Amino acid sequence: MSVQTGGRLRHAVDNGGGAGGQAKGAARQARHSRTVDIAARIGLAGRGLIYVLIGVLAVQVAFGLSNAQTNRNGALGEIKDKPFGSAVLVILVIGFLGYAAWRLLEAAVGVQDEDDEKKRTAKRVVSAARGVIYLAIAGSTISFLVSGGGGSGEPAPWTARVMRNDAGRVLVGIVGLVVVGIGIGMIIRGAKRKFEEKLKTGQMSAFARKVAKPAGLVGYIVRGVVFGLAGVFVTKAAIEFDPSEAKGLDGTLKTLAGQAYGQWLLTLCAIGLALFGIYSFFEARYRKL
């Protein structure tokens, strides 16, 4: 085989070859388009707004000022009740869809700054999962906007349906363990400050760095703890064959409120979740996309 022929073959492989290569090239171009960039950043900012509102609601619940849902639906309700609330929800939907599109395109073309093939594959799987999750979040936000309320967003009704037999019970247990793993991953990401790798720190002002870095550290750790506890509750539901033990974000936070020193535990969690929301605003501005 000549050097020239070998070079052509390597070029074809690197570009996916034929129609596949053209499709991958189009996906890569779309991923880096201005439209997807803006929409993804709106999605990150929308995530920030949701978590700040969840934090505010949790503080109100902690001090007996409210019994509102301390989850995404509760936050969406707070937005919808305000002037121009519906318009804000529409913008959030666009942002969530944009973020989902960016993640799915990233899954399709791969992470270009990763040389290790196994790590590249793992990151593509994670990106695909996040894309699907944000598609679901966009769908639930649309449902909330159209219906004026939507569902509770809690997993307990779903676990009740799934846990009608042993196979469903195993599935719920696996989901619980996965959520625990996600929570642990968030804690590690926060403690090791790995989230900073995705920020354009060179473009950040001194003020932005002073706020974003500690907010991300605390926010990721607290969010990981809350997710981990939610996963423990779901796993417990599977082990005890009791769907009522499964709790989402709202149920997990309110369970904390019912413990000794629950008011302060819930307040600390509320502050941490709000800080994650604040960090998300900086990520929306300075994230490497």
Three-state SS string across 58-111, please? HHHHHCCCCCCCCCHHHHHHHHHCCCCHHHHHHHHHHHHHHHHHHHHHHHHHCC
pLDDT above 90 for 100: yes
More confident residue, 8 or 175: 175
User: What is the tens place of the pLDDT at every residue in 162-221?
Assistant: 777 778 888 889 999 999 999 999 999 999 999 999 999 999 999 999 999 999 999 999
Residue 225's pLDDT is what? 96
Distance (Å, rounded) from C-alpha 281 to C-alpha 228?
A: 24
Residue 257's pLDDT is what? 82
More confident residue, 19 or 206: 206
pLDDT above 90 for 132: yes
Q: Which residues contact 275 (CB under 8 A, 6 or more apart)?
A: 55, 214, 215, 218, 219, 222
**What's the mean pLDDT in 8-21?**
50
More confident residue, 152 or 100: 100
Name the residue among 116, 58, 84, 19 with its Cα closest to residue 271: 58
Confidence bin at 112 (pLDDT 50/70/90)? low
Residue 277's pLDDT is what? 96
Please provide the average confidence, as pLDDT, over all residues in the chain: 84
**What does R_g of the chain's alpha carbons equal in angstroms?**
21
Confidence bin at 43 (pLDDT 50/70/90)? very high
**What's the mean pLDDT in 10-27?**
58
Residue 166's pLDDT is what? 76
Residue 114's pLDDT is what? 59
- Indicate the pTM of the whole model: 0.81
User: What is the tens place of the pLDDT at every residue in 244-272?
Assistant: 777 888 888 888 888 888 889 999 999 99
Residue 120's pLDDT is what? 81
User: What is the tens place of the pLDDT at every residue in 223-237?
Assistant: 999 999 999 998 998
Confidence bin at 152 (pLDDT 50/70/90)? very low
pLDDT above 80 for 76: yes
Residue 5's pLDDT is what? 44
Residue 222's pLDDT is what? 97
